[in-house]
Structure 1
Amino acid sequence: MKFRYSESVPKRTDNPTAAILKAAADPQVISFGGGLPAPELFPVAEMKAACDRVFDHNGQQVLQYAETLGYPKLRRQIVDMMQKRGVQTDVPNVAVVTGSQQAIDLVGRMLINPGDIVLTEDPTYLAAIDVFKTYGAHLVGVEMDEAGMRPEALAQALERYPETKFIYTIPNFQNPTGRTMTADRRAQIVKLAAQAQVPLVEDDPYGAIRYAGTNLPPLKHYDQDGTVISISSFSKILAPGLRMGWLVAEQSFMEKFVQLKQNADLHTDNLTQYIVADFLDNVDLDQHIKKITDVYRHRAELMLSQIDQYFPASVRHSQPEGGMFIWVEVPGTDADELLKVCLKNNVAFVPGSAFFAGKVQPGTFRLNFSNMDDEQIRTGIQRMAKAIQTVLA
């Protein structure tokens, strides 16, 4: 059968995300590739207890169809969570989504026509790149440094592309670099977007996982006129298999969003929403997040110390204050070729080429530390060091 695919279906046959997951599934390979939380930190017993309570008290209700924007109680709990983060909002402005990835997809579907300009940090989240390209966007990368997206570079891009549909940014512990946008830049970038009348999509799945530095308010905190569409997730603070995230936006946007959400899946899984809501009622979420951050702090510090000890002195890396990733730059190498050598030595990472909207910076790659124990981190980094020495030689 010859299928006549739509223009939204990717033309390429390679799949970086699938390759990452495949490498992570091989027990012989120490994979620093996937953005996987530590499974030993999943609150299994607490989730089971929540599930039992939900079925005992709301069994029939949770198995029925539900509201498109989500379980009202859970949305109220999300409002409370956002207020603790410095964002004043209300239930009508909150939608529960099937993982933050669905929110990225629906925002792309709502705003992008083929050929539209979308500005992103460069580098940025590879699955967001894929989504935006699927809808026909022309991606323009905006330069960033250790303090996040550069306001001067954003201003220049907005001047050059006044028809920009939206700006996409990950301000906290960015994927792939692990960098965090400073408070001053957050305010400046929101102001620039508002002045240009360009929506700003804030993707914040990692913000709660901070183990160094000072908590910073989300971009939505600085929003005075509905410029910012804020997206977040329970995947990193509870478990990714729940597929539970949320979106916060102004009312006129939500009126359109609900229609596309309904077309996509009617509503996010009702049972899981009730379970998460019950969990939040009965478990100290802050204490649970502290357990996660304590483990991730240790693993990040261990990986950084191993990189500093075994990698060549010319290698540069980011210094994350939270999240799950370290960005590495090895001058004089091709990261795709380096990966081939690493795989022969049973260690994996994600080459930087997958993350750039614009020109690829050679010799860059992303490492994930959250899903590996101490011995795997030590062994894996030492294997990588040998591979780097081989390629450089």
Structure 2
Amino acid sequence: MTTWTLARRAQKMNPSVIREILKITEKPGIISFAGGLPSPKTFPVEAFDQASQRVLQNDGAAALQYAASEGFLALREHVAQNLPWEVDPDQVLITTGSQQGLDLVAKILIDSGSRILVETPTYLGALQAFAPMEPVVASVASDAEGPDLNSLSQQMGSGANAARFFYVLPNFQNPTGRTMSEARRAALVEKAAELGLPLIEDNPYGDLWFDTPPPKPLTARNPDGCIYLGSFSKVLAPGLRLGFLVAPKTLYPKLLQAKQAADLHTPGYNQRMVVETLKGGFLERHVPTIRSLYKNQCTAMLQALDTEMQGLGLEWNTPDGGMFLWVRLPDGMNAVELLPKAVDAGVAFVPGAAFYADNADPRTLRLSFVTASVEQIHTGIAALAQAIRTFAKG
């Protein structure tokens, strides 16, 4: 009999809690606020159809051939030209989704036992990407404005045990929906430079603001001290699996080598199709329609929470953009234990504990408002309120 011996890093790999919960939502009649999926209503199918025809007619052979690992030059140029600081296209690496960017960062910056810092809470997918490299993950306390700088200094470590980087999502964070304030961004960049701490800035949601754009990126304030991750998933479509990273020129070659080892290159056909789609200022016309839709759905969820949760002792935030809001249940309640009762009532969410590297708050949960209709939002929040009442009664 053949014996398979798993690598130690494989033992660190765990299934996505969100993906497991999504299986529950496939049951008929379940209203899901669990997934972090963009609304299919925002996918520009007609524009893709036209762009695809042009790519195949005009550049089909090249689009279907192996390609440069760095990515299609025209797409890298587009990324560089549309960032709010000076970027050379040679600093842009096209990735197979921004999730691959996290994987590449982990491979070149983390040794077994390396200390890394994350927000409290943080993106589950980042924790999954970092875990196989066997880091020591330390959580930096956070408030409504972003990371607490005193906590950052305390968690930094020193000497050989100093943190390799701090991973942050400044805009409409997943899972909380919070946005880092201008004052906190300026202070964080200054403190990180003082500590010699690199920042990994993940910004998949930054274009999804409702009324006012967020402050300028951390990377724009100290380009040599940051790696910046972006995505086309939230403004075009996630099925394309197109993301990018922008890195200091000293780091870029190693990230490129990690990319070459992972998948050679991101599909050239997809890259060319996006370049064709983006011509003529497409995003300037398309993204405002996404913002309008998501703002309307977010408003509906906030109104439903105000109406249905009266007297139940819940707390929640008011996002300025993005796809999520963050809820805290009353003392003594546990979101993991609440979930089955919610599913029985016809609604699903993601318990917040999955988003903590340590010391999880069991009362927290994440709600996504972008894939449910306004009617479904009101029905689902009413069902959630009923489940909470049932749970409270024991």
TM-score (norm 1): 0.96
Shift of 1:2: 4.0
What is the aligned partner in structure 1 of residue 261 from structure 2?
A: 263
* Counterpart Cα distance in 1 of 2:341 and 2:112: 39
Shift of 1:10: 3.5
Give a deviation string over 1:85-118, Cα, whole Å, max 9, x none: x221110110100000000011011111111111
What is the aligned partner in structure 2 of residue 223 from structure 1?
A: 222
What is the aligned partner in structure 2 of residue 285 from structure 1?
A: 283
Shift of 1:152: 2.2
Aligned-pair Cα RMSD in Å: 1.5
Q: Verify the 8 A CA contact 1:117 1:163 in the aligned structure 2.
A: yes
In structure 2, the CA distance between the partners of 1:227 and 1:12, relative to structure 1 (3 Å rule), is closer
In structure 2, the CA distance between the partners of 1:54 and 1:282, relative to structure 1 (3 Å rule), is farther
What is the aligned partner in structure 1 of residue 87 from structure 2?
A: 89
Equivalent positions of 1:1-393 (< 5 A) are 1-10=2-11, 15-82=16-83, 86-159=84-157, 163-223=162-222, 226-313=224-311, 314-332=313-331, 333-393=333-393
**Letter of the 1:380 counterpart:** G
Q: Verify the 8 A CA contact 2:141 2:147 in the aligned structure 1.
A: yes
**Letter of the 1:288 counterpart:** H
Shift of 1:248: 0.4
* Counterpart Cα distance in 2 of 1:343 and 1:2: 40
| Structure 1 range deviating more: 160-169 or 8-17 | 8-17
* Counterpart Cα distance in 1 of 2:288 and 2:30: 29
Task: Give ranges in structure 2 of 5+ residues lacking alignment.
Answer: none
Give a deviation string over 1:248-301, Cα, whole Å, max 9, x none: 011111011111100001110000000001111145212200000000000001
1:131 is paired with a residue whose SS is helix
| Structure 1 range deviating more: 230-239 or 309-318 | 309-318
* Counterpart Cα distance in 2 of 1:356 and 1:253: 29
Shift of 1:345: 1.5
Q: Verify the 8 A CA contact 1:46 1:283 in the aligned structure 2.
A: no
**Letter of the 1:326 counterpart:** L
1:370 is paired with a residue whose SS is coil
In structure 2, the CA distance between the partners of 1:159 and 1:188, relative to structure 1 (3 Å rule), is farther
* Counterpart Cα distance in 1 of 2:13 and 2:286: 41
Q: Verify the 8 A CA contact 1:113 1:135 in the aligned structure 2.
A: yes
Q: Verify the 8 A CA contact 1:24 1:34 in the aligned structure 2.
A: no
Shift of 1:331: 1.6
Give a deviation string over 1:106-159, Cα, whole Å, max 9, x none: 101111111111100010001111111121011111111111112222122225
Q: Verify the 8 A CA contact 1:129 1:357 in the aligned structure 2.
A: yes
* Counterpart Cα distance in 1 of 2:86 and 2:11: 39
Shift of 1:24: 3.7
1:9 is paired with a residue whose SS is helix
Shift of 1:163: 1.2
**Letter of the 2:208 counterpart:** I
2:58 is paired with a residue whose SS is helix
Task: Give ranges in structure 1 of 5+ residues lacking alignment.
Answer: none
| Structure 1 range deviating more: 256-265 or 215-224 | 215-224
Give a deviation string over 1:204-260, Cα, whole Å, max 9, x none: 000000003443111111115x11100010000000000000000111110111111
* Counterpart Cα distance in 2 of 1:213 and 1:364: 27
Q: Verify the 8 A CA contact 1:54 1:275 in the aligned structure 2.
A: yes
TM-score (norm 2): 0.95
Q: Verify the 8 A CA contact 1:190 1:228 in the aligned structure 2.
A: no
* Counterpart Cα distance in 2 of 1:160 and 1:115: 14
2:371 is paired with a residue whose SS is coil
| Structure 1 range deviating more: 271-280 or 133-142 | 133-142
Shift of 1:201: 0.2
* Counterpart Cα distance in 2 of 1:258 and 1:167: 21
Q: Verify the 8 A CA contact 2:92 2:246 in the aligned structure 1.
A: yes
| Structure 1 range deviating more: 47-56 or 188-197 | 188-197
Q: Verify the 8 A CA contact 2:12 2:134 in the aligned structure 1.
A: no
1:25 is paired with a residue whose SS is coil
| Structure 1 range deviating more: 114-123 or 212-221 | 212-221
* Counterpart Cα distance in 2 of 1:284 and 1:301: 26
**Letter of the 2:317 counterpart:** S
* Counterpart Cα distance in 2 of 1:277 and 1:350: 35
Q: Verify the 8 A CA contact 1:98 1:243 in the aligned structure 2.
A: yes
Give a deviation string over 1:303-322, Cα, whole Å, max 9, x none: 01101111144211011000
1:252 is paired with a residue whose SS is coil
Shift of 1:26: 3.2
| Structure 1 range deviating more: 41-50 or 279-288 | 279-288
